[in-house]
Amino acid sequence: MVWGIYNLDEAGVDQVSEMDGERHVVVLKIKKTPTYRKTSADRTHLSAAACVAGDGWRAKTMYALKGKVRKEATLPMCPPGTQYIMTTKGYFDDLGFFEYIKFLVNQLPKDGKWRVLIFDGYGAHTMVKSTLDYLVENRIHAVCMPSHTSQFLQPLDVSCFGPVKHEFRLSLSDIQFKLGTEAITKWELPCVFEMAMEQGCSPSNIRSGFKKCGITGISSQEWMEMHKDLFQISAALNESRVQTHLTHKRAAEIGDDALVKIHSTLQMDGLDSPLKAALSELKNMIEPCVAVAKKLGPALCSPPKEVKKRRRVGPAVNSLDELQSAAKWVTDEKRRLRIDEKVRGLAIRHENNERDQAEKDCQKEAELQEKEEKERGIEAVRKLLIQHEALQPNGILDKKAIVHFYVTNKEDIDGIIGTSIPASKRTKANLVQVILEHYDQILDM
């Protein structure tokens, strides 16, 4: 990363509000009152914290989910390194934002250089001293934008979050349609948002956002990228691969023009040392090539290589409109493949969840039946003790009452069961079980 300027912001995602591009309204003729459509989807809300740099770099995302218990070790089907925290309302509070700052700092280079982090004036960003102290300790300048200016000064708001939410709406709608359900859990929603982040928060969109906000700078690598034609010319001259239509005279003119540009750039003030070194090396590379071009002339030129025709994949292209249609076809095809991959993963996950839930229901039902049988057995023993006048009709069947009944009728009961029950095993559960096993005989004794 050549830039030291970063932008941090949070985006809220609500499954109900993002599920459809527009709210559907049904107008009733009798009441003439708009009635909003009822949806079966849960109102799932989460927040995503993102950070980008001016060169197009994007940090791993952290999500704030609503709840208290972490049921998943990692978010399913999200890129490696994606993290999440649980908060009361699904937003980044003071503690949650501090956790994200530590998560972000671990992703930055440990080179000892100072960096600038731009964010809005949200309370959790600017009002927690421990968070600001942690930024300073890690050599990060925190810059807070003025109120009501983030839509103009924040790159994420200017060029990233709009395309991200648009792509998220489309992807979520397609996935829900293919799955046949609108209920996407809060654990699964981040994987859909990550897919939208890859498209909407692309390196080109990030760089465009910084440029539109006026947050620009120049570095050696960026200057080389802006003037890559000079490097291409020098490489072509050096490797003797100039096309036949480029004569030795024209090659020499291009080389001289490049040398003039490099010389004028070296005279500028404020250039860093790496850039000066790169320009000097480029100058030393071009000068001998220009001299050779002037001396040898057409000998440098080589005939162009014959380009073999490749089999076309996709629609044919014969005009600008068809070219745009072909580009859209390729984009839609890639998007369809990404969505199909997520749908397969979510379908498998839903099947596993349904199977686990069915097993839990069966286990719960078995426990309930066992409890009911136990209660029926205790009630039967209670009636037996009442019949033998060992328990009052409104009395409670406890250990004392059932032990007293056994001790009182010990000889008869031992004769029925064929053994004597030692004192250490005269618990309520054991005595109830013995009586139930020989219920009819004990009832008639």
pLDDT one-digit tens code per residue, 163-184: 999 999 888 888 888 888 777 8
* Structure-token pair, residue 214: 């006026």
Residue 38 domain-assigned? Answer: yes
Task: Tell me: do 386 and 261 sit in the same domain.
Answer: no
Residue 414 domain-assigned? Answer: yes
Give the end of a domain, one of 179, 212, 245.
Answer: 212
Hunting for tokens 């250990």 — which residue is that? 399
What's the confidence (pLDDT) of residue 40? 41
The 8-class DSSP code of residue 123 comes to H
Give the end of a domain, one of 192, 212, 232.
Answer: 212
Give the end of a domain, one of 275, 300, 325.
Answer: 300
Q: How far apart are CA 290 and CA 99, in angstroms?
A: 57
The 8-class DSSP code of residue 423 comes to G
Task: Tell me: do 50 and 149 sit in the same domain.
Answer: yes
Beta-strand pair 83-87/62-66: parallel
What's the confidence (pLDDT) of residue 221? 67
User: What is the per-residue pLDDT across 140-154, written as a single tens digit (0 to 9) for each?
Assistant: 999 988 888 888 889
Residue 334 domain-assigned? Answer: no
Residue 161 domain-assigned? Answer: yes
Q: How far apart are CA 359 and CA 369, in angstroms?
A: 15
What's the confidence (pLDDT) of residue 63? 95
Q: Which residues of the chain have pLDDT under 50?
A: 1-2, 17, 20-41, 240-245, 299-304, 307, 312-313, 315, 317
CB 160 within 8 A of CB 206: yes
Task: Tell me: do 42 and 131 sit in the same domain.
Answer: yes
Task: Tell me: do 203 and 273 sit in the same domain.
Answer: no
* Full residue range of the structural domain in which residue 136 is found: 5-212
Residue 63 domain-assigned? Answer: yes
Task: Tell me: do 54 and 119 sit in the same domain.
Answer: yes
Q: How far apart are CA 438 and CA 396, in angstroms?
A: 22
CB 157 within 8 A of CB 151: yes
Task: Tell me: do 229 and 200 sit in the same domain.
Answer: no
Residue 338 domain-assigned? Answer: no
Q: How far apart are CA 139 and CA 133, in angstroms?
A: 10
What's the confidence (pLDDT) of residue 57? 93
Task: Tell me: do 186 and 225 sit in the same domain.
Answer: no
What's the structural domain count of the chain?
3
Residue 98 domain-assigned? Answer: yes
* Structure-token pair, residue 93: 């509070």
CB 302 within 8 A of CB 290: no
Task: Tell me: do 15 and 116 sit in the same domain.
Answer: yes
Task: Tell me: do 11 and 85 sit in the same domain.
Answer: yes
Q: How far apart are CA 75 and CA 185, in angstroms?
A: 11
Task: Tell me: do 161 and 279 sit in the same domain.
Answer: no
Residue 46 domain-assigned? Answer: yes
What's the confidence (pLDDT) of residue 232? 61
> Helix axis angle, 161-179 relative to 320-387, nearest 10°?
60
What's the confidence (pLDDT) of residue 86? 92
Write the CATH number for 82: 3.30.420.10
Task: Tell me: do 145 and 27 sit in the same domain.
Answer: yes
Task: Tell me: do 199 and 258 sit in the same domain.
Answer: no
Q: How far apart are CA 105 and CA 96, in angstroms?
A: 14
